[in-house]
Amino acid sequence: MSLAKIRIVGGVPLHGQIRISGAKNAALPLMAACLLTDQKLTLTNVPKLSDIQSMTLLLDQHGVQIDTEQDRFELWAKDITNTVAPYDLVRKMRASILVLGPLVARTGQAKVSLPGGCSIGTRPVDIHINGLRQLGAHIDLTEGYIHAQAPQGLTGADITMPLISVTATENLMMAATLARGKTRLINAAREPEIIDLANCLNAMGAQITGAGTDTITIQGVEGLHSAQHCVVADRIETGTYAMAAVITGGELELTHTSVDLIAQVAGTLKQAGASLEATEQGLRVRAPTIPIQGVDIMTEPYPGFATDLQAQIMAVMSVCQGASMITETIFENRFMHVPELCRMGAHITVHNASALVRGVKSLSGAEVMATDLRASVCLVLAGLAAQGETIVNRVYHLDRGYENLEQKLGACGAMIERIAA
Ligand code: EPZ
């Protein structure tokens, strides 16, 4: 685990172009989808991230042959030699739970470690488990593992999900592609990553309709075949760099992405005084000519304001004119960036799920540390705007979700460097 740090000297308005990478949260389920077929799945535009490396290691120990060349991954689950996803791999990346549905659907069994919680919340997986039970799997939870059996295969069912869950929707959608008959996922998540996964599965021969709406219908098929799929652009990275332009008073063009992926965030940034316009290659973001205006924000499942951009918008609002009430409705403990921002001079008070941000004229650099990948990048944004030097510790969080962060920001004028521990 890298103990390197990121050093930033703030106060430089960013100008230039940033290429947005493929979405981490699309690439992870897409990689797991290779388990559903004994033919090759080729993915392009795969981001170079440590979470992708973790999923590669996990699939490798299931027996998947993975050949990579830059952003191109060829995954071949010809034979699945091991249906156990061990604790030491799953605990490092919760998204490992995404192999559960495909393993059960393809082999009739799986033993996957319960992911456990993380810094932002307890993050249960009951919706994944109950959904698979409704598809006919027999599941025991013993010794910290999910033991799933479906020796006769899975049978389609109507599954009403009690909460909108992104990876539960993905897990059950993948499992249902090989179930006998029809499955409907009701109260499904609607994220673009789910549409991207459905598009890839359909290219592999699945019969999925309704992805992107709250009801997804999957008609089971005998088997899936090879396909090639390009990973959708990362909307969280897009939103993050759009906010980098705003907080530094600069202007950035973000390419290989689309403003449609961040419609709600774009609306918030426009209310704050920024301008965002679609361009040939993606979008252009200009900071307000007046001080950033305070805007109230509530995180919600897509198409609402993304919880993965909550920490970042809080950094922006910490230097707004006026105030901003930010309410986190998805996770129960996602304000750990608040004390770190306050150490940089932000004026934020938290009451339960809401943080009141009273804008200050400017932040001052400090040594800070983060607890998850989105809180880390929030501190980078704050450092880019702060007067003086900011040192962000625990850089390994950043490397999970942001490809070439220093290079992308440095190319636009940021004074940012990685320093070895
Ligand atoms: C996905 O996590 C993302 N991860 C998260 O991104 C993102 O924050 C989250 O969706 C919400 O958008 C990936 O896609 C790999 P959920 P996921 O299931 O699927 C509760 C990042 O920074 N819940 O949509 O785990 C849960 O506790 C990460 O890239 C249950 O109660 O999130 C939460 O309160 C962080 N039971 C709510 O639902 C379940 O079985 C939404 O969680 C599942 C979820």
Cis peptide before 47 (omega within 30 of 0): no
Beta strands in 39-157 (DSSP E): 40-44, 65-69, 72-76, 84-85, 109-113, 138-142, 145-149
Q: What angle do CA 106, 111, 116 make, to 5 degrees?
A: 125
pLDDT tens across 203-250, in order? Answer: 999 999 999 999 999 999 999 999 999 999 999 999 999 999 999 999
Q: How far is the CA of 333 from the centre of ligand 1 (A)?
A: 13
- Residue 408, C-beta contacts closer than 8 angstroms, at least 6 positions apart: 18, 19, 241
Q: Which atom of ligand 1 is nearest to the CA of 51?
A: 15
The residue whose CA has the least distance to atom 30 of ligand 1 is: 124
Residue 174 alpha carbon to ligand 1 centre in Å: 17
pTM score: 0.97
**Would you state the pLDDT for residue 2?**
62
Residue closest by Cα to atom 25 of ligand 1: 167
Burial zone of 208 (CB within 10 Å; 0-12 exposed, 13-18 middle, 19+ buried): buried
Report whether 421 contacts 9 (CB < 8 A). no
**Do residues 89 and 98 lie in contact, with contact meaning Cβ atoms separated by under 8 Å?**
no
Q: How far is the CA of 95 from the centre of ligand 1 (A)?
A: 9
Ligand 1 geometric centre to CA of 121 (Å) = 10
pLDDT score for 229: 98
Q: Which neighbouring-strand residues pair with 389?
A: 9
Residue 390, both tokens = 């900011």
Ligand 1 neighbours, Cβ below 6 Å, are 24-25, 28, 95, 121, 123-128, 163, 165-168, 307-308, 330-331, 373-374, 401
Taking 3-state DSSP, the helix, strand and coil percentages for the chain, each rounded to the nearest 5, stand at 35, 30, 35
118 is catalytic: yes
Q: State which of 25, 238, 327 you would mutate to test the pocket of ligand 1, scoring each by most atoms of that ligand within 8 A of its C-beta.
A: 25
Bridge partners of residue 229, in order along the sequence? 43
- Give the tokens for residue 10: 């703030």
pLDDT in tens, 94-140: 999 999 999 999 999 999 999 877 778 878 999 999 999 999 999 99
d(CA 292, CA 249): 9
Question: Out of 118, 200, 230, 320, which one is annotated catalytic?
Answer: 118
Hey, what are 70's tokens?
Answer: 């830059």
Cα-based angle 275, 354, 361 (whole degrees, multiple of 5): 50
Per-residue confidence (pLDDT) for residue 140, from 0 to 100:
96
**Positions in the chain short of pLDDT 70:** 1-2
